[in-house]
Each structure stands twice: as structure tokens, then as C-alpha cells.
Amino acid sequence: MLPSQIQPEIERLALRIQKLLEAGWRSVKVVTDHGWLFCPDGLPIAELPKHLTASKWARCAAIKGDSQVPVPTAAWSWNPSEQFATPSGAACFNTGGSYSYAHGGISLQECLTPVLLVSGGSSSAPAAAITEISWKGLRCNLEVSGGTAGRTADLRRDAAGGPSVATTAKPIDDGGARLLVEDDELEGAAVVAVLLSPDGRVIAQRRTVVGGEA
């Protein structure tokens, strides 16, 4: 399901931005598409009789001739003389109950295109990275390079922001950390090894499998 992928995608985007800044980019601009509406139980229904429209979609309808419609209308940006109809709020025309996902009509989600500009900081500390991962049973050995002062390592389930599966996060000591997965039922499960800044931010990550690759 799409919403369940949002957090991992944001984490991957954040890591990519971090890598670009570390490589010397002065700033990174992130431009998204317009948003969408998601309601697992179906979006509400807005009735619009078919005879009033030339064509109709879930969140927009072309008005037939001079028909008067019982919903909000607006003009097309490329042809202000032509009006279109749109349901109020998060509703969809007629089949709203069968829609769990839809573009947002003239809602804020549809009309606003977010732009995010990320600039590099002034810190000259070397970037930390996980350079090697090895397993001995359920014990994970991490090798780390770069600035490691105050950093800790952890193992997270499925994504860098997921729940920890290690008995405890460990500080980086002498270029590495040793982490133990206590639950043997997790052997073979996909996890993410992460490095954390002193304030708990994920600053590096690398995927692995509990117990090592088969």
C-alpha cells in the first residue's frame, strides 16, 4: 500500500541529499508533484447528475453547455471562458465510496507544489559511513569510517526509522560496533544498520540480513 512506503522513501531521499552535500553540492532543491487524497474506507460521495456533464472523473467534471451544477465551479487556467465542476472537500463524484485514493481536484493537495531547498552546513567534521557488515550468528559486527565521536549504532527493522531489533544501541568504539539480535526468530529478516548522531538523527545507513546473506 502506497502510504506504507512514505517513511522509507523519505529516509532514502534524506540519505541521498546527505550524500550529495557530502560530495560538494552547495544545495539540493527537491520539487515534488502535487499531492493526493487517501482514505482507506473510501472518499465521501458528491452527487452530480450525468446529464449535466460532458465528461466526468472522480474529482473533476466538464460541464455540458450552460448547465447549472450543484457543486463548486472554477475556470480552466488555459481557457477562462470554460468552467469545470469539482466536489467540495475530499468528496468524489458518484463513485466516491469505491475510491480510497484520488487526486485532489482544486483542493490544497492538488494545487500546491511543495519545494524544499536543503543547504550544507558549515561543519568540517568528516562524514561517517558504514563500510563493512559481518555476522557471527546473531551478532552483527559493523566497521565505520569518518567522524565517529559521539555516534552510536543500531539495527532497525525494515527501515532506518523502524523499531530497533538490537538488544541495545552501541557507541562506536575503535572504528566499529558490535550489536546483538536476541530474538532468533528474526534470523533471515531484512534490517537496516544505522549510525546515529548524538541527538539521535540517522546519519548513515546500510541494509543487511540478520545472520548474514544466505
% of the chain beyond a pLDDT of 90: 37
134 and 205 in a single domain? The answer is: yes
Any bridge partners for residue 102, and if so which?
37
101 and 161 in a single domain? The answer is: no
95 and 169 in a single domain? The answer is: no
Looking at residue 30, its pLDDT comes to 93
How far from 44 is each of 1, 71, 133, 202, CA to CA, in Å?
20, 14, 49, 39
136 and 165 in a single domain? The answer is: yes
Looking at residue 111, its pLDDT comes to 77
Backbone angles phi, psi at 33, to 5 degrees: -75, 170
- Domain range for 166: 123-214
How far from 127 is each of 106, 147, 148, CA to CA, in Å?
44, 6, 9
CA 101, 107, 112, 116 dihedral sign is negative
| Apex 123 CA angle, 116 and 202, nearest 5 | 60
Q: Does residue 125 register a pLDDT over 60?
A: no
Q: Which of 71, 92, 115 is the last residue of a domain?
A: 115
- What is the distance between the alpha carbons of residues 34 and 150, in angstroms, rounded to a whole number? 39
Q: What is the mean pLDDT of the chain?
A: 85
Q: What is the mean pLDDT of residues 4-30?
A: 85
185 and 146 in a single domain? The answer is: yes
pLDDT tens readout for residues 64-113: 988 999 999 988 888 888 889 998 888 888 765 567 777 766 777 777 88
Q: Which of 81, 115, 149 is the last residue of a domain?
A: 115
pLDDT confidence bin for 121, thresholds 50/70/90: low
90 and 137 in a single domain? The answer is: no
111 and 129 in a single domain? The answer is: no
pLDDT confidence bin for 154, thresholds 50/70/90: very high
128 and 212 in a single domain? The answer is: yes
How many domains does the chain fold into? 2
Is residue 48, in this structure, part of any structural domain at all? yes
Is residue 18, in this structure, part of any structural domain at all? no
% of the chain beyond a pLDDT of 70: 93
In SS3 terms, the chain reads as CHHHHHHHHHHHHHHHHHHHHHCCCCEEEEECCCCEEECCCCCCEECCCHHHEEEECCCCEEECCCCCCCCCEEEECCEEEEEEECCCCCCEECCHHHCCEEECCCCHHHHCCCEEEEECCCCCCCCCEEEEEEEECCEEEEEEECCCCCCEEEEEECCCCCCECECCCEECECCEEEEEECCHHHCCCEEEEEEECCCCCEEEEEEEECCCCC
132 and 213 in a single domain? The answer is: yes
- What is the distance between the alpha carbons of residues 63 and 74, in angstroms, rounded to a whole number? 11
64 and 88 in a single domain? The answer is: yes
Looking at residue 104, its pLDDT comes to 65
Q: Which of 57, 82, 115 is the last residue of a domain?
A: 115
Looking at residue 96, its pLDDT comes to 54
